[in-house]
Structure 1
Amino acid sequence: MSEELYMTEQVVESVLDSGNTAWIVVATILVLMMTIPGLALFYGGLVRRKNILSVLMQCLILTAVIIIEWVIIGYSLAFTSSGGSANLFIGGFDKIFLSAVGVNDILEGYSIPELLFVSFQGTFAVITPALIIGAFAERIKFKGFILFSVFWALLVYNPLAHWVWGGGWIGELGAIDFAGGTVVHINAGVSALMMAVLLGKRKGWNTPGEAPITPHNIPFVVIGTALLWMGWLGFNGGSGLAADGISANAILVTNLAAAAAALTWSLLDQIINKKPTVVGFCTGVIAGLVAITPAAGSTGVFGGIVIGVASGLICFWMVAHVKFRFGYDDSLDAFGVHGVGGIIGSILIGVFATQEITGEGGAKGALYGDWNQLWIQFIATVATIAFSALMTWVLFNLVDKLVGIRVSEIEESIGLDISEHGEIAYE
């Protein structure tokens, strides 16, 4: 390539595109909506009435805290270079407080303002620790929750985001994670499982003679699901950072996977439990959305449908059988849906990735003749699981020693709304 042509291409890349910018503005709003109010209502409806305010407050406080953490240091650690071999593992400090990011700066290699990219990625940083709430709902101290979440964002989310998206070793390996299968869902889901095991079961959960713990407001679950589904189109559709064919494909396969997983879940409900449940359908939707997330930029229609069906089948089995068989109280199935769904999607990229989507010379999966991509996806998935599990164990024990994490039996019986916040949701 001649120097003149190279410089011309660089100039083209650095020119702001108003269409791309407008779409990522919309996508940023959609992803923020996924946490508040989407996830807040989805999780809030699933808990008992005495704990709904605690879940809403956890989602609200995380949104505020993580946005600030992200701007102060998180973005810099995830998306800048630390130089040399250290850059394979963590970013640098060049953009702390966004000191080196101006209003006219264009994101390198794209056509949107870098400040917009900061905001878009910040919404991912917010929802990831919020997903973990589903594992420890109804039994965690508020101050322990905040401290754990801040440490987790700093020491787990930011490094992993750098490994995959910021120039780190997983990205360099060639692993594909279009919108957060490893960084968001496996990461949060595995951490959720660790938190559920370390905290222990809720009083009365899965105990003979005790009434089952059931959702207190299923309409809230439906509204939350609808908001999450809508927001997910920005989550996946915006991850290519352009309003183009890749974005269109991501939106299409996201809808297909969600629909396939929800219908699969409902069919299993009908066959096994003799009735298709509303909560089951909603959970299936989320499982399909999770599983397609890493694959939305590399998989076509066929792969999207198969990934959706697979996530519906496997996540149903995890939620309905495995959790009770092994006795871990993953309250709202953060691991069974997000962790397992993320693993399914991440691995199946290695099967269904197609050059019809990734382009000539792009990645392709085993179904199209390249088994190496499957191996790469496996390595990325296992590394994410190991890192998330180990770091969560360390942070849990640290925070437990500093401020404590689990509420007392009396506080748990009263409910966290009153014991932690001094309020009640319903008269």
Structure 2
Amino acid sequence: MDTGSIAWAITATALVLFMTPGVAFFYGGLVKAKSVVSMMMMSFGALGLVGVLWVLYGFNMSAVGGVWDFAGNPFSDFGLGALATGESANTDLIGVAFGATFAIITVALISGAIADRAKFGSWLVFAGIWATLVYFPVAAWVWGGGWILNLGESLGLPGVIDYAGGTAVHINAGAAALALALVLGKRVGFQKGMDKPHNVPLTLLGAAVLWFGWFGFNAGAEWLNGLANTGLIVLNTLGATAAAILGWLVVEKIKDGKPTAVGAGSGAVAGLVAVTPACANLEPGWALLLGAVAGAVCALAIELKFKLGFDDSLDVVGIHLVGGLIGTLYLGFFAIDTGLFTGGDLGQLAVQTIAALAVLLYSFVVAFVLGFAIEKTIGFRVKNEDEIAGIDTVVHGEEGYKLETV
């Protein structure tokens, strides 16, 4: 492989890795000041734990030998010693590192649903087991030769399109987030407007870091294709995100009377989520429409938790699950050549729907059972009095801000 492609692969890996601290910033600014360390540590905990598990056995599980295999053999090359000594080790190991960054951020995204009330140790137990039972196999289904990758061929329909993770990352994480929100229950005093973001600039910094890193997230895998489609991917990642900001702010202005900075940041993330599966398969105009729709719909979807009574603290469900579904299903209508309105028929929509619902249901069920088991054994939620006081000092012995009085 040429040196330019290798250089882009390394750059893209670093960009996507940087996205997980971006999640920490984005989520950290949204919680109360006495919970910011806890919130950010959940992302950094995922960085450490999932990164190690991916090298030990997660990468092995992310590719299958047969279409209907559940996952690859985790012990086939435990610790990747054989891969590291192979003839193509130089490029193969970059691919391993790139895949690790996706696994890490998928787990980190879930944490926003249980902000302010989760034990760190219990979170790590959940993160490690969920990554093993859900993310690693689902990555194999979607990208590693598994049944979702081959669904279209099996049914005589177009193949499932999920370029960078609408199903494997966002629907996967969003469904798990919903399950954990239900298991841990509502925060003390849960109601609309109960907690304002303690640091709006920190949240906007996180959104900016995410947008920056997302160019590696979406266009990173093009190093395997000789960078052939990079221009379209980069433009769609820019355009859909920009349109989503506007879509969110318009809804916010109509609904609440004021467009907010947090709304702008949330809209950007919603657009990034929606364009993730679709970035390589939409004409730029349709990508703009996708972003506007995602921003507007997600701005409305975050209100569902108050109507349905589940406490998704930082709107992981409303942004990642809903945004992931929008982007995945939108391809059924507007994918280049195969969408219902762009030269195809209902076949693309059918396979997109099957893949999205399968990942959603599998992730939700496993996360719910796992979260429930942790809560009933070692405990997952902190005591109410610790939650009210702020859990940073209780869980980590640290404070996000040390204010000195003179």
Alignment TM class, shorter chain as reference: over 0.9
Distance apart, 1:79 and its partner CA: 2.2
Question: 1:366 maps to which residue?
Answer: 340
For structure 1, the 5+ residue unaligned runs are 1-15, 356-363
Question: 2:41 maps to which residue?
Answer: 57
- Note if 1:424 corresponds to 2:399: yes
1:249 is aligned, of 219, 232, 236, to 232
User: What is the rounded CA distance, in whole Å, between the counterparts of 1:62 and 1:373 in structure 2?
Assistant: 34
Runs in 1 of length 4+ with deviation above 3 angstroms?
Answer: 103-107
Question: 2:72 maps to which residue?
Answer: 91
Task: Please tell me whether the aligned partners of residues 143 and 403 of structure 1 are also in contact (alpha carbons under 8 angstroms).
Answer: no
User: What is the rounded CA distance, in whole Å, between the counterparts of 1:326 and 1:309 in structure 2?
Assistant: 25
> Which amino acid in the other structure matches residue 131 of structure 2?
A
- Note if 1:21 corresponds to 2:6: yes
Distance apart, 1:85 and its partner CA: 6.1
- Note if 1:399 corresponds to 2:374: yes
CA deviations on 1:51-87 (whole Å, 9 max, x unpaired) are 0000111111110111100000100001243xx5653
User: What is the rounded CA distance, in whole Å, between the counterparts of 2:374 and 2:57 in structure 1?
Assistant: 21
> Which amino acid in the other structure matches residue 423 of structure 1?
E
Report 1:58-73 matches (<5 A). 58-73=42-57
Distance apart, 1:104 and its partner CA: 5.7
CA deviations on 1:159-197 (whole Å, 9 max, x unpaired) are 111111111101111211100000000000011011111
Distance apart, 1:114 and its partner CA: 0.7
Distance apart, 1:350 and its partner CA: 1.3
Question: 2:154 maps to which residue?
Answer: none
Identity, in percent, stands at: 43
2:82 is aligned, of 72, 95, 100, to 100
Task: Please tell me whether the aligned partners of residues 26 and 206 of structure 2 are also in contact (alpha carbons under 8 angstroms).
Answer: yes
CA distance 1:125–1:105, shift in 2 (3 Å): farther
Provide the TM-score with structure 2 as the length reference. Answer: 0.93
1:240 is aligned, of 222, 227, 250, to 222
More displaced stretch, 377-386 vs 295-304: 295-304
Question: 2:125 maps to which residue?
Answer: 147
- Note if 1:262 corresponds to 2:240: no
Question: 1:4 maps to which residue?
Answer: none
CA deviations on 1:253-278 (whole Å, 9 max, x unpaired) are 01111000101111112222221100
CA distance 1:103–1:234, shift in 2 (3 Å): farther
Report 1:303-382 matches (<5 A). 303-319=286-302, 321-355=303-337, 364-367=338-341, 368-382=343-357
User: What is the rounded CA distance, in whole Å, between the counterparts of 2:401 and 2:109 in structure 1?
Assistant: 25
Question: 1:117 maps to which residue?
Answer: 95
2:105 is aligned, of 94, 116, 127, to 127
User: What is the rounded CA distance, in whole Å, between the counterparts of 1:406 and 1:264 in structure 2?
Assistant: 36
- Note if 1:197 corresponds to 2:182: yes
Distance apart, 1:341 and its partner CA: 0.3
For structure 2, the 5+ residue unaligned runs are 152-158
CA deviations on 1:361-393 (whole Å, 9 max, x unpaired) are xxx211122320110101001101110111111
- How many residues are aligned here? 392
Distance apart, 1:126 and its partner CA: 0.3
Question: 2:191 maps to which residue?
Answer: 206
> Which amino acid in the other structure matches residue 157 of structure 1?
Y
User: What is the rounded CA distance, in whole Å, between the counterparts of 1:100 and 1:204 in structure 2?
Assistant: 54
- Note if 1:42 corresponds to 2:26: yes
Task: Please tell me whether the aligned partners of residues 64 and 146 of structure 2 are also in contact (alpha carbons under 8 angstroms).
Answer: no
Task: Please tell me whether the aligned partners of residues 80 and 94 of structure 1 are also in contact (alpha carbons under 8 angstroms).
Answer: no
Paired residue secondary structure (1:132):
helix
> Which amino acid in the other structure matches residue 415 of structure 1?
G
> Which amino acid in the other structure matches residue 56 of structure 2?
I
> Which amino acid in the other structure matches residue 60 of structure 1?
F
User: What is the rounded CA distance, in whole Å, between the counterparts of 1:225 and 1:86 in structure 2?
Assistant: 38
Provide the TM-score with structure 1 as the length reference. Answer: 0.89
Question: 1:386 maps to which residue?
Answer: 361
Distance apart, 1:322 and its partner CA: 1.6
Question: 1:360 maps to which residue?
Answer: none
CA distance 1:85–1:300, shift in 2 (3 Å): closer
